[in-house]
Structure 1
Amino acid sequence: MKILCRYILAWAAFFGIANVYFCRINISMAIVPMLGESIKRRDSSGASCVERSANTTEDNVEFVHIPEFDWTPEQRGLMLGAYYYGYTIFQIPAAWVAAKYGFKRSFGYSMLLASILTCLYPPLVRLNLYLGVVIRAVLGIFHSVSFPCLTGAWGIWAPPLETTKLNGIHVSGASAGTCIIFYLAGGIIDSYGWASIFYVTGGISLFWVVTWFYLVYDSPEQHPRIDPEERDYIIQSIGENRQRPDLKTPWKSILLSAPVWGIMLGHAASNWGNYTLNQQLPTYMANVLGFDLKLTGLLSSLCYVLQWIICLVAAYLTDLIRQKQLMSTIRIRKLNTIIGLWVTGLCVVLAGYAGCNTHISIILLFLTAGLNTFTVPGCKSAMLDMAPAFSGIVFGFSNTISNIPGFVAPQVAGSILQESTLPEWQAVFWLSACVHVAGSLLFLFKGTDELQDWAIVEKKNERVDHSNEDNTDQKIVTKL
């Protein structure tokens, strides 16, 4: 059985994205013991299943972490959101760098620097809160290369009817990374202290960098170990009009395209819900449901195991449906978007009203996390249909808008969650659901799978026209 290099790339990218999430989300678990938690149970008829107390000596205390830092809720939100300032601002420049200089070096070197910064975070944040904020923002800058790089890679490596599946594999690394870090972080932190999780995740990421540079190449032509049959198949199926460094990017047309804005708003809505969940879920489980840190980590990780599985299955089934022509590409993408945004919005609202019924709450939160990834083979893959040669650039635009929730959502949640009561959490969940539905509408009305005029690649090719005495350069316009 041949091991296909395009799938090696997909799985290497999967582990790369997992490492991005290791280093992104480690702080969501670490911040609980960093700020200290003391939990005692309360009657379920109260405003919350548990109430938090700075100092308590009652016998019903569940667990205690001695605070190392004395941050306000607003400072806590600033620290959680700092990563997304750098990550968001540099999406489009990162996409351009990747298109110009190749995704292998762009992603590899950025991950190398990000790994080093992750290891430096604990001593630096102990020196000063705002130094820690700066480190997290710079980490976001280095990680901003990741998704535009890899989305653009499929314009070179993915046969058209495998784009959703290959894209889904690497994107699912986000869910896998989230579930792994939630599962392992609680035990690591309880055993070795909160700083240990930054050293562990930074070290794992450094190891991944070495394997990335060995396994991955920028194109099938450059790969020294690819089977000639696979190389020829990829080149022939995509055609000559693949993403190339010399292509002139139609910046204005991209920015003014309604279908592109449909992708961006749907992507942003999905991220609002997902970021709210992965940033706030450990706190919700600890402060409202009354779980200890290890159980919180386990349950949070199981949410993202489901998310990972659903992402892979949904991507595979989407391409299968496209190949068998059971539905048009745009119809299946819109259906996936409705599942990923409307159904999850309903689930998260119901989870808030389930309150202290922990079993129902957990099931609904699992569904919220898992079904969110239907947007991956939905609106988040639509640029591969409508602009394959510029998919990385379009994704850079989309990821810029869609990561504004990364720093806005925790600030908004922090302003609402003054006492971390159940009604406050219900308000946070209602807001998330409304963003989901509103953000989906433009893609549902204006989304398309048709190649856009501005995405048609023009290639100059010299040939002789025997009907004319002069040899002229003919423009061959080929649709990708």
Structure 2
Amino acid sequence: MPTGAEAKGVAAISSDGHLSTAQEQTSRKGFCSVRHGLALLVHLCNFLINSQRMSLSIAMPAMVNSTAQLRPLNASAERPPADSQDGWNGTLQQSEAVAPMYDWSPEIQGIILSSYNYASFLVPIPTGYIAGIFGAKYLVGVNLLLSSVLALLIPLAADAGVLSIIVLRIFQGMAQVIVLTSQFSLWVKWAPPLEKSQLVNIAVSGQLMGSFITLLIGGFLCQTKGWPSIFYIFGGIGCVCSFLWFLLVYDDPIHHRFISADEKEYIVCSLAQQDCSPGWSLPIKAMIKSLPLWGILVFYFTEFWIFNIVITYLPTYINSVLQANIRDSGILSALLLGAACIGTILGGLLADFLHSRKIFRLVTIRKLSTAIGVLFPSAAFVSLYWVRFSFSASMGLLALSSVTITFCQTGALVNILDIAPRYTSFLQGLLEVFAYSSGAISSTVAGFLISQDSEFGWRNVFLIAVSINMSGLVFYLIFSQAKVQDWATEQMFTQL
């Protein structure tokens, strides 16, 4: 049964399906709104999840005995310059005085670091389905708290033994995937069509910001305060944030205690034409036959192939190919990710501006953003091999790729909210499975190529990634749409 606010919102829509002038004015007041506050809270959650995830990678060199230093598995065999090695050895000796160290072999370290992914692929689809039915508030809040508590326990788990820290990381990885997957169901009820891109991008950019801050200060914390400090800081902040989440977040604007009547009416009115109510039944057969859905699924796989390489191997590339020392490679990688975070937010604002001013149709914005997010990074990655002897040219190309690749977030990566708002959470879980599968395969392939040939390995890694990404772009451009599909409307509610 629609509430009074919903009925009032529906009545306020004109016969041509557009909002009234008063409601459009309400829209322009958005940056001090509850919905933008929600986007910032989700941004903070994503920031903490990614910081907690990366903390162990940053701390690992300080956790291991200097005789068993970690060389990234499947990474380049080239060694950094001697002066950077001496500096890092000094860092390890200083860390040993303030925190325990362990005699973990590189193989054991690799198992510990990868244990995050051992069970992560099991949870996205059921999480998406449950979030679509019951909402995301408690799924996100409980699992953010669980991940934060487990982060606080990592130093104790490390002292208890290898098996303890592996088990802890498995459960932490599952909790973090639940947070990242279930949050998308919030935007089905909170994101007006003309603000969808900016709200989602503000939230998602928290992941890049988490990587930026962790790379920037993680090594310093491990060196000066001891490696446990990085887990205590991000774990403690996560616990505080989880309690704020429970207090401030609601699954929809109708039941929010502090939202203004104008904002509530604006959101309800703008979403009144979309059939967003979840259903227990899923039109599986229709989903399998849906080419627009397959366009998004295929692009997710191809895009996260190259995106995972950028996130995983960027510090290694700057260190081994561009010959920056370990400290500088971390700082430069952080700056590139910071630029990407800013690009993500600005891309969302630009997409919503073009849509609200009716400069382009929504499907054109999705396709154009996706094309920019693929073509410019592809050109940059293909060119890296030929400018590898120029540090400034290489960093310029990496900066270009880091900023422009984020345009995909306002294109194909948010497109699922357009074609099937009723099933957004379930389908987002399915998309996460494609993304994790792609990341696992791309890391393995990249590591093999780099280890086999240190000179041409990087070139081959980028050429293969660009080829795969371009094929995904072509498939998406042919089949993508930006309107609600027939199988995602109410008349298909009981179809199996």
- Answering whether residue 48 of structure 2 is matched by residue 26 of structure 1, we say no
Task: Spell out, residue by residue over 1:245-299, the C-alpha distance to the aligned partner (whole angstroms, 9 max, x if none).
Answer: 5453323322432211211221222222222222222233333333334322221
CA drift of 1:415 comes to 2.7
CA distance in 1, matches of 2:141, 2:270: 28
- Answering whether residue 218 of structure 2 is matched by residue 185 of structure 1, we say yes
CA distance in 2, matches of 1:272, 1:80: 19
Normalized per residue, which structure has more helix?
2
CA 1:370–1:380 in structure 2 vs 1: closer, same or farther (change >3 Å)?
same
CA distance in 2, matches of 1:98, 1:303: 33
- Answering whether residue 16 of structure 2 is matched by residue 16 of structure 1, we say no
In the alignment, which of 94, 97, 117 is matched to residue 84 of structure 1?
A: 117
CA distance in 2, matches of 1:252, 1:268: 21
CA drift of 1:27 comes to 3.1
CA distance in 2, matches of 1:406, 1:259: 23
Q: Answer with 316-325 or 277-286: which moved more.
A: 277-286
User: Does the 8 A contact of 1:289 with 1:356 survive in 2?
Assistant: yes
**Which one-letter code corresponds to 1:349 in the other structure?**
V
SS for the counterpart of 2:451 is coil
SS for the counterpart of 2:481 is coil
Match of 1:327 in 2: 360
CA distance in 2, matches of 1:342, 1:37: 43
- Answering whether residue 472 of structure 2 is matched by residue 439 of structure 1, we say yes
CA drift of 1:229 comes to 1.3
Q: Which runs of 5+ in 2 are unaligned?
A: 1-28, 68-75, 93-100
CA distance in 1, matches of 2:295, 2:118: 23
How is 1:220-235 mapped onto 2 (pairs within 5 angstroms)?
A: 220-235=253-268
CA 1:101–1:123 in structure 2 vs 1: closer, same or farther (change >3 Å)?
same
CA 1:444–1:197 in structure 2 vs 1: closer, same or farther (change >3 Å)?
same
Q: Answer with 220-229 or 119-128: which moved more.
A: 119-128
CA 1:253–1:325 in structure 2 vs 1: closer, same or farther (change >3 Å)?
same
In the alignment, which of 225, 233, 239 is matched to residue 200 of structure 1?
A: 233
CA 1:354–1:312 in structure 2 vs 1: closer, same or farther (change >3 Å)?
same
User: Does the 8 A contact of 1:26 with 1:197 survive in 2?
Assistant: yes
User: Does the 8 A contact of 1:266 with 1:439 survive in 2?
Assistant: yes
SS for the counterpart of 1:172 is helix
Match of 1:470 in 2: none
CA distance in 2, matches of 1:373, 1:37: 38
In the alignment, which of 333, 336, 340 is matched to residue 369 of structure 2?
A: 336
How is 1:67-82 mapped onto 2 (pairs within 5 angstroms)?
A: 68-72=102-106, 78-82=111-115
User: Does the 8 A contact of 1:84 with 1:406 survive in 2?
Assistant: no
CA 1:102–1:305 in structure 2 vs 1: closer, same or farther (change >3 Å)?
same
User: Does the 8 A contact of 2:132 with 2:424 survive in 1?
Assistant: no
Match of 2:15 in 1: none
User: Does the 8 A contact of 2:143 with 2:175 survive in 1?
Assistant: yes
User: Does the 8 A contact of 1:80 with 1:407 survive in 2?
Assistant: no
User: Does the 8 A contact of 1:99 with 1:245 survive in 2?
Assistant: yes
CA distance in 2, matches of 1:77, 1:411: 13
CA distance in 2, matches of 1:153, 1:328: 25
**Which one-letter code corresponds to 1:351 in the other structure?**
L
- Answering whether residue 391 of structure 2 is matched by residue 358 of structure 1, we say yes
SS for the counterpart of 1:421 is coil
User: Does the 8 A contact of 1:82 with 1:407 survive in 2?
Assistant: no
CA 1:243–1:404 in structure 2 vs 1: closer, same or farther (change >3 Å)?
same
- Answering whether residue 79 of structure 2 is matched by residue 51 of structure 1, we say yes
CA drift of 1:75 comes to 5.6
- Answering whether residue 173 of structure 2 is matched by residue 140 of structure 1, we say yes
CA distance in 1, matches of 2:305, 2:361: 28
CA drift of 1:12 comes to 0.7
Match of 1:394 in 2: 427
CA 1:129–1:279 in structure 2 vs 1: closer, same or farther (change >3 Å)?
farther
CA 1:213–1:123 in structure 2 vs 1: closer, same or farther (change >3 Å)?
same
- Answering whether residue 310 of structure 2 is matched by residue 277 of structure 1, we say yes
CA distance in 2, matches of 1:441, 1:318: 21
**Which one-letter code corresponds to 1:179 in the other structure?**
F
CA 1:389–1:406 in structure 2 vs 1: closer, same or farther (change >3 Å)?
same
- Answering whether residue 446 of structure 2 is matched by residue 413 of structure 1, we say yes
CA distance in 1, matches of 2:290, 2:468: 22
Across the aligned residues of Structure 1 and Structure 2, the Cα RMSD in angstroms comes to: 2.9
User: Does the 8 A contact of 1:14 with 1:173 survive in 2?
Assistant: yes
**Which one-letter code corresponds to 1:372 in the other structure?**
I
Normalised by the size of structure 1, how large is the TM-score? 0.84
User: Does the 8 A contact of 2:486 with 2:492 survive in 1?
Assistant: no
Match of 2:334 in 1: 301
User: Does the 8 A contact of 1:390 with 1:455 survive in 2?
Assistant: yes
**Which one-letter code corresponds to 1:426 in the other structure?**
R
Normalized per residue, which structure has more strand?
1
SS for the counterpart of 2:79 is strand
CA distance in 2, matches of 1:172, 1:243: 25
- Answering whether residue 204 of structure 2 is matched by residue 171 of structure 1, we say yes
User: Does the 8 A contact of 1:160 with 1:238 survive in 2?
Assistant: yes
CA distance in 1, matches of 2:275, 2:152: 38
CA drift of 1:108 comes to 0.5
Q: Percent identity?
A: 27
Task: Spell out, residue by residue over 1:41-67, the C-alpha distance to the aligned partner (whole angstroms, 9 max, x if none).
Answer: xxxxxxx996359xx8x9995542658
In the alignment, which of 396, 410, 414 is matched to residue 377 of structure 1?
A: 410
CA drift of 1:376 comes to 0.5
CA distance in 2, matches of 1:29, 1:59: 16
User: Does the 8 A contact of 1:314 with 1:377 survive in 2?
Assistant: yes
SS for the counterpart of 1:417 is helix
Match of 2:300 in 1: 267
CA 1:291–1:311 in structure 2 vs 1: closer, same or farther (change >3 Å)?
same
User: Does the 8 A contact of 2:205 with 2:345 survive in 1?
Assistant: yes
User: Does the 8 A contact of 1:49 with 1:355 survive in 2?
Assistant: no
Q: Answer with 126-135 or 306-315: which moved more.
A: 126-135
CA 1:60–1:121 in structure 2 vs 1: closer, same or farther (change >3 Å)?
closer
**Which one-letter code corresponds to 2:131 in the other structure?**
A
CA distance in 2, matches of 1:192, 1:395: 39
Runs of 4 or more above 6 Å deviation: none
CA drift of 1:25 comes to 2.1
CA distance in 2, matches of 1:171, 1:122: 29
CA distance in 2, matches of 1:159, 1:435: 34
CA distance in 2, matches of 1:35, 1:286: 20
